[in-house]
Structure 1
Amino acid sequence: MQDIDRMIDEALEGENQTLFRETAREPGYLDQAFGIFSGSIGWTNAVLMVTQTVLFVAGVWAGWRFFQAGDTLSALHWGLPAAVLVLMATILKTALMPAIQANRVMRELKRLELQIALGRNTP
């Protein structure tokens, strides 16, 4: 892998080399996570994240009330909604992961387009 990077550096020059290095850099997890809030469907992801947060907070609150319950009926009254709310929050959270993966795929496609535009042939 190191030989490929060296060959790329030798083949590119000046501004093209800087541009290629910037596109080749994989952003960190937090950059990728916050990247889902940009673009054409960023507002949808923001709504999902707010909804997920509200559901999680409500689930934690209901869970707290579950552990404070003195009798079985009261525990069921708070425990079942707590479990459902936390599960719903988890499902919404996992629904956002494909958006992160889609952004990673699009970034790699743009990198390949840049290589093609620069006339690069890489394996």
Structure 2
Amino acid sequence: MSKIDDLISQTLNEDMTPADTPQLPEPGYFAQAKALFTGRLGWVMWLVGIVQLLFSLGAIFAFFQIFGDNNVLDTLRWGIVTIVLVQLVTFLRGFMGSHFEANRVLRQLARLELRLVRSESETER
């Protein structure tokens, strides 16, 4: 194993007291969701959010159009439009969810890196 692997395993295996651990509180759900719309890819998330809102409104409109038509073919068309729009909204929510989880993983990696640096600085003393 390399030195970094040894440091990671040592850091993960050692028992640190609560006074030694850096206190970085886990942000709440809404704070994490708000963080999606900031940063380098914030504009992409804003665009996805707006498109998702438009698709949702379109799906609601198409759903109510199903009940207004007496023609079976028109009802079927509105139903297909509703299903497609709901699927697109679900896809976009999954896209945003994957970035949500990636941000959580990156935050945990930053915490691990901080612990490694603290551990390494304490062993150098």
What range describes the TM-score normalised by the shorter chain of this pair? 0.7 to 0.9
TM-score, L = length of structure 2: 0.76
Structure 1 distance, partners of 2:54, 2:80, is: 17
Structure 2 distance, partners of 1:80, 1:65, is: 12
- Give 1:17's aligned residue: none
Amino acid at match of 1:56: S
TM-score, L = length of structure 1: 0.77
Structure 2 distance, partners of 1:67, 1:56, is: 18
Structure 1 distance, partners of 2:68, 2:47, is: 32
1:24-67 residue CA offsets vs partner (Å, 9 max, x unmatched):
x2111111111111111111111111111111110110111112
Which consecutive residues of structure 1, in runs of 5 or more, have no partner in the other structure? Answer: 13-19
Q: Which runs of 4+ in 1 moved over 4 A?
A: none
Structure 2 distance, partners of 1:98, 1:86, is: 18
Quick check: 1:60–1:86 contact (8 Å CA) kept in 2? Answer: no
Measured after TM superposition, the shift of residue 72 of structure 1 is: 0.6
Measured after TM superposition, the shift of residue 80 of structure 1 is: 1.1
Percent identity of the aligned residues?
30
Report how many aligned residue pairs link the two structures. Answer: 107
The equivalences for 1:1-123 within 5 A come to: 7-9=17-19, 11=20, 20-21=22-23, 23=24, 25-119=25-119
